Amino acid sequence: METVEIQIEPRDPGNKGKVKELRRQGKLPGVFYGPKAQPVPLELDRKEFLSRVADLEGSHLIRIKSASPLLANKVALVKEMQFHPVTGEVLHADFYEVDLTAKIRVKIPLHFVGKAEGVVRGGILQPVVREVEVECLPIDIPEYFNVEVTSLDIGHSLHIKDLPMPESVTAIYESNLTLVTVVPPTVEEAPAAEAPVAVAEGVE
């Protein structure tokens, strides 16, 4: 998989005021941590992060460039990003150190490819999951999986056992996990006719 290099430096933890000032300077606060690494508060250029990392699909390896020996040449995954609830702006990023020789678990997005036969016949394609969790070495992390749905008819489904995977990648779900199905079209019931209202004799 592609490895993205990005400049990251340690920062003083500080308080909320310092973090806000950091953001005003065009920096993004974050933290670097891992199974064998103590958490290191960090900062990086916001524009560089947005252009090179934030919009990438799936999990990508990040090789850190830094003047600090605590961070230089470390390899990490972006484990989590925090967003502003209104604007959607990225506020914080967590970088998780990985060992290139040890397998890890990551979630891989699914791309549903083609137009299902059942959809042509009026059915509705209904994804059940949009990502699957796998275990592999960091260097073998797939960017995404293509799920070919063209032959899928109404009432039929594809399961994780139907998903082609490299030998180096193992799904950690049961083999009968449903990925996508085609359901029959929704039929709207016609409204029931209203019964005529009886009028009593002599009443105008």
Task: Tell me: do 85 and 169 sit in the same domain.
Answer: no
Task: Tell me: do 20 and 85 sit in the same domain.
Answer: yes
Concatenated DSSP letters of 119-142: HHTT-EEEES-SEEEEEE-GGG--
Domain boundary among 97, 117, 144: 97
> CA 134, CA 196: separation in Å to the nearest integer?
63
pLDDT over threshold 80, residue 152: yes
State the Cα angle at 191 between 189 and 197, rounded to 5°. 155
Task: Tell me: do 114 and 79 sit in the same domain.
Answer: no
188 inside domain: no
pLDDT band at 34 (very low <50, low <70, confident <90, very high): very high
CATH, residue 29? 2.40.240.10
Task: Tell me: do 110 and 79 sit in the same domain.
Answer: no
198 inside domain: no
Closest CA to 149 of 176, 177, 186, 110: 110
The two beta strands, 37-45 and 90-97, are unpaired
pLDDT over threshold 70, residue 182: yes
Task: Tell me: do 46 and 120 sit in the same domain.
Answer: no
pLDDT over threshold 70, residue 145: yes
Which residue segment(s) compose the domain that 176 sits in?
A: 104-183
Look at the pTM and tell me if it is higher than 0.85: no
Task: Tell me: do 109 and 83 sit in the same domain.
Answer: no
Closest CA to 81 of 119, 28, 15, 35: 28
Task: Tell me: do 67 and 139 sit in the same domain.
Answer: no
> CA 40, CA 30: separation in Å to the nearest integer?
9
**Total domains in the fold of the chain:** 2
9 inside domain: yes
